[in-house]
Structure 1
């Protein structure tokens, strides 16, 4: 019972993170420095904003896969090939996300308005890349553990 409550709680946290991220993606362009005097069409036609939206797809895939993995844990199916596929997907999405965030940071560093200070944005990029790499490494470790458990189960099952 307690395990089920914990899983539901973690799934709710994942949904909440997704909602907050979506609100930030919609709200931030409206309040960003160069967009304060622009209309909504001009703001959302900016190629960099579109890049951020496309890059964020990998973030939402990670959240979806984590939600799905938690449901497998709740169903006692964590030691399955489906879980390994989910963990691989999370790992690869986190790697892609870290690359996309680093590319956004490089773009802003090279092409920012000279009147703007990109230090805050670059710090957020660096932190986000670090978090993405930690997520990829964690998913990789869990993937290896699950593969090891599956291999141990296969060795210990009696041959028919």
Structure 2
């Protein structure tokens, strides 16, 4: 009976981590589709050829800034892999959390820079309020993610330190 419960617990853990890894992959695919599709629907790009649409400096900046997002997704995928392998209490997990935190901070800085650029250089006939609202919301989300990950990183580091201390005393 005890062995059956352990096996069931192991299977449930593998299913949940595989599900979360699938969700992360789907988030990455949806973000990539949006990055490819959105420039074609943007107002000033409707009358441009394909090269001119994607060669816009602001669109290129958006692609560059999105790299931090995709690196954070990759690190979240790796962290779930460590969880699935029962290697949560390892220095690799702490490094992965640190990478996610740095990516979230970098992403929030890049979003603020983009918002400031649009605010300072927008055409007076344009209304940048919607874009600036999206910038503020996504910056807030990135800061919340960075803060939560920093807390998890600290807790995990403390747990690893306590575990190594207990291993030495036994």
Q: The TM-score by the shorter chain falls in which range?
A: over 0.9
Provide TM-score, normalisation by structure 1.
0.96
Instruction: Provide the C-alpha distance between the structure 1 equivalents of 2:100 and 2:70, rounded to a whole number of angstroms.
Output: 10
> Out of 128, 133, 155, which is 2:143 matched to?
133
Provide TM-score, normalisation by structure 2.
0.91
Give the Å deviation of 1:15: 0.6
SS of equivalent residue, structure 1 residue 54: helix
> Out of 12, 16, 20, which is 1:10 matched to?
20
Which residue in 2 is equivalent to 1:142? 152
SS of equivalent residue, structure 1 residue 157: helix
Query: Deviation string for 1:94-137 (max 9, x for gaps)?
Result: 00000000100111111112222111111111111011111111
Which residue in 2 is equivalent to 1:80? 90
> Out of 104, 116, 127, which is 2:126 matched to?
116
Give the Å deviation of 1:60: 0.1
Which residue in 1 is equivalent to 2:113? 103
Give the Å deviation of 1:158: 3.7
| 4+ long deviations beyond 3 Å | none
Counterparts of residues 7-86 of structure 1 (less than 5 Å): 7-86=17-96
Query: Deviation string for 1:35-58 (max 9, x for gaps)?
Result: 111001111111111100001000
Max radius of gyration: which structure?
A: 2
SS of equivalent residue, structure 2 residue 123: coil
SS of equivalent residue, structure 1 residue 7: helix
Unmatched 5+ stretches in structure 1? none
SS of equivalent residue, structure 1 residue 98: helix
Q: When the two structures are aligned, how many residues end up with a matched partner? A: 160
> Out of 126, 147, 162, which is 1:152 matched to?
162
Aligned-residue CA RMSD in angstroms?
A: 1.1
Unmatched 5+ stretches in structure 2? 1-10
Give the Å deviation of 1:159: 4.9
